[in-house]
Each structure stands twice: as structure tokens, then as C-alpha cells.
A and B are shown apart, each in its own frame.
Chain A
Amino acid sequence: MQWGSLTEFLAMGGYGLYVWTSFSATALCMVWEVLALWRRRAAVRAEYRDVS
């Protein structure tokens, strides 16, 4: 699939809004989930450090 230019790629034949909303929502959710887990793990480690 050859895209003529970056603009064409972003426009997605006029459907850019729908396509990019979908992909960015997916990416955002995954990143958010990973970050939330990272925070949770840090909290668990910190709490465990205090328990003795």
C-alpha cells in the first residue's frame, strides 16, 4: 500500500477521524493500563518496605 504523502496517510481517504480515534484510543488505553500497573507495583513495593 503506497501512501502518496504523510497528509494522505493521516487523512485515510477522508475517514481519518474515525481511524485515528480508534487507534489512538486503543494505544491510550493500553499505555494507561501499563502505567497504572506500574504505579500499583511501586505502591506495593513501598508499602512492603515499611512493613517489617
Chain B
Amino acid sequence: MNQPSMFEALRGIIQRDLLLAMRRRSDVAMSVFFLVIVASLFPLGVGPEPTVLRTIAPGVLWVAALLACLLSLGRVFTADYLDGVLEQMLLVSQPLAVLVVGKVFAHWVISGLPVVLLSPLLGLQFGLSGESLGVLVLSLLLGTPTLSMIGGIGAALVLGVRGSGLLVALLVLPLYVPVLIFGAGAVTSSSAGIGGEANLSLLGACLVLSLFFAPWATAAALRIALE
């Protein structure tokens, strides 16, 4: 009996989740559409004055990305929880934390990566240009995986609980705030000419920290939810 290695298990999980997502492509499209709609609401509400839009662009785009991630958290574990696959995952020999990394990574590819890829277009819509645009993409590239990792903890904690949609938002949004501040701050300081390096390195630090600790916390939360 050949036991798959951790990397093979990781790859297997990612492949499986991506395959499942491909069969329901609407999930990817939903994140994209949501981002575009929310980002479009602000110029409609605030007025099309270019300087105003350029000022609020980092915050608006980052909040929209954050909300898109938040709304998609229901999809990380729920389907597997409902059909019993999650319980099987608890029983395999590979550490649950590794499987969690796989699932969260797949979730990011489905919900977070489209946001990163679409952000330059939205940034242009808001009048960002040049270096700020690049910093925006980079900040989202560093930040959205962190949002997915932290979101995974929340999703695992509220598995199967009534009213979990609002509850997970309340749990996860306070933890998202530092990422939001650094992310939007990177773009703002880049636009102001100070350069976004400080904020970007802080974002990177958040990513590394979440990669180390979030899988363990999520695995613990999953075990608690499935006892």
C-alpha cells in the first residue's frame, strides 16, 4: 500500500477542488461580477469627479475584494461537510493542516485570483495609473491569499451553524482589518509618492504569518465542528 506523500495529498486536494469548481464555473464568475458591481457602486454614489475617485480607489477596491472573499467563504468547506467528505479527510494519515492549505489555496484560485487579475481594469476605471496600478495588483496578490487563509478559520468555526453567514462576517472582518489597512495603504502611499514598500512588506509578513498559523487553527476548528 503506497501512502501518498504530503505533497501528493496537497496536489490531489487542489486538483479535486479546482475540478469541482470547473464544473460550476458560475462560482468564479460570481466573484468577478460581485467585484465589478460593488466597485461600480461607488462612482455612482459618490459622483464621477476624477480626483475624488482616485483618492478613494485604494480603499474601495480593497473593500470590494475583501467582501468578495467574505461572501465566498461559505463554499470552502460546506459542500464537503454536507456530503461527508470532510469527515473522511479527518481520518487520513496526512496532517489535516496540509489538506486545509490545499482547500484554501483552491478557494483562492477560484475567488481571489480573479480579483487580482481584474484589479488593473478597475483601477483604470478609478483613474489610477502607472506605479499605483502595479502596487494595487501586488498588494492584492499578497493580500487575497491571506484573506482566504484567515477566512478559512472563520468558515471552519461556523460550519453548520444557523445564521453562519453573518456570524462568519463578524468573526472574520476584525481579523481582516490589518490586511485592509496595509493593502489600501500601500496603494495610497504609492499614489502620494512615498512608495508602497513598507506596507507591501507588512502585507508579506501577514501572508507568511497566516500561512504558518491559519492552517493549524482551521484544522482545530474543523475537528471541533465534526466531533
Do A and B touch (CB < 8 Å)? no
Chain A residues with a Cβ under 8 A of chain B: none
